[in-house]
Amino acid sequence: MRVTDSFRFQLYTATLSTLKAQMDNATNQIASGKKVLVPADDPTSYAQNMQITAEQSQNTQYASNLNSLQAQGAYYETSLNSVGDLLTTVKQLVVQMSSATVDASSRSAAADQVNTIISQLAAIGNTKVGNTYIFGGKKGNAPPYQADGTFSGTNDVAKVAVDSSTTVNAGISGNTIFNGTVSGEGVTLNGTAQPNIDIFGTLKQLSADLAANDTGALQTDSTNVDNCIDLTSNNLAYAGTYTKNISSLLTTNATTGTTLTETSSNLVDVDTAAAYSDYTTLSTAYQAALYVMAKVESLSILNYLPPA
């Protein structure tokens, strides 16, 4: 079979084209850091990485949710500590006003002080983080408390996804903070047993008893204030557990993110050192092919004639 010059040229051209395409691919891999850029590079790896990319995006959203909850949790703890401090002040005031040496005018002034504390507690209940009133339950877009402690939020709170199968409470309702229970205990207001420990109701009753100079009622008021302090301690413990749980979920989220990144890298990232080596080998082969082609194409019958 005779190899024509035309066939030989086509063969060289095809070889050069293949080498050039392989060099371009190696260059793209080095520049992008990826060995799989389009489905044709590796259909299976490309499809798997698309799924992982979607999971990474979702995991990033979970991390954002958790970070928001963690920041919010810190506000809950700070707020509850402030509630506890104010209730401790009230307790000290009740003890002082229970003394037989205290007169009616002093108790009246103490009633005004309790009213001020009620307003301060309501302000805590209206704590706002960003655009959200964190004690409003599902009605986080408006102040949940009036100055007298009247609540207009919701008892239940929204849920937020923190991984593919888990949701957690997005906060703590103010009704839990200011109108909850301690180990099933009740509280007595106006001689009637109440199902919940109502902090605002307790302080309003205390204020009324002080203003009326009703020393006989102060012992009951003192007990009720103790219950309010116990409720706040329990809620503070709950808030601490809540934030600890969020921190644990953040750790798990970070681990998941690392695993997804590593899996993606194994599927599509290029070994840069190997890619450079491949490029060098291909470049050498390409230059050699050009040299051979130039030499062969320069031959003619004259190269084979004996010297004259």
In this prediction the pTM is: 0.72
**pLDDT surpassing 70 at residue 289:** no
Q: How far apart are CA 120 and CA 75, in angstroms?
A: 16
Q: Which CATH class is domain 86-236?
A: mainly alpha
Q: What average pLDDT does the segment 23-31 reach?
A: 68
Q: Which pLDDT score, from 0 to 100, does residue 192 have?
A: 61
Q: Which residue has the tokens 């409470």?
A: 169
Cα–Cα distances (Å) from 226 to 27, 87, 90, 99, in that order, read 74, 9, 10, 18
Q: What is the DSSP letter of 306?
A: P
- Report residue 12 as tokens: 């060289």
Q: Which of 82, 107, 111 is nearest to 97 (CA)?
A: 107
**pLDDT surpassing 60 at residue 235:** yes
Crossing angle for the helix pair 218-268 and 43-97, nearest 10 degrees? Answer: 170
Q: How far apart are CA 221 and CA 114, in angstroms?
A: 12
Q: How far apart are CA 190 and CA 198, in angstroms?
A: 13
Structure confidence by residue, pLDDT tens digits, 245-275: 999 999 999 999 999 988 888 777 666 666 6
- Report residue 78 as tokens: 């700070």
Q: End-to-end CA distance of the chain, in Å?
A: 32
Q: How far apart are CA 117 and CA 224, in angstroms?
A: 16
Q: What average pLDDT does the segment 35-50 reach?
A: 81
3-state secondary structure 120-161: HHHHHHCCEECCEECCCCCCCCCCCECCCCCECCCCCCCEEE
- Report residue 8 as tokens: 């030989």
Q: What 3-state class would DSSP assign to 34?
A: strand
Structure confidence by residue, pLDDT tens digits, 145-199: 999 999 999 988 999 999 989 999 988 999 889 988 665 555 555 566 656 889 9
Q: What is the DSSP letter of 1?
A: -
Q: Which of 30, 53, 36, 42 is nearest to 268 (CA)?
A: 36
**pLDDT surpassing 50 at residue 302:** no
- For residues 225 and 90, the answer to whether their CB atoms sit within 8 Å is yes
pLDDT band (50, 70, 90) for residue 304: very low
Q: How many helices (H) and strands (E) does the chain have?
A: 7, 8
Q: How far apart are CA 174 and CA 162, in angstroms?
A: 23
Q: Which pLDDT score, from 0 to 100, does residue 265 have?
A: 81
Show me where the domains of the chain are located: 1-33+276-308, 86-236
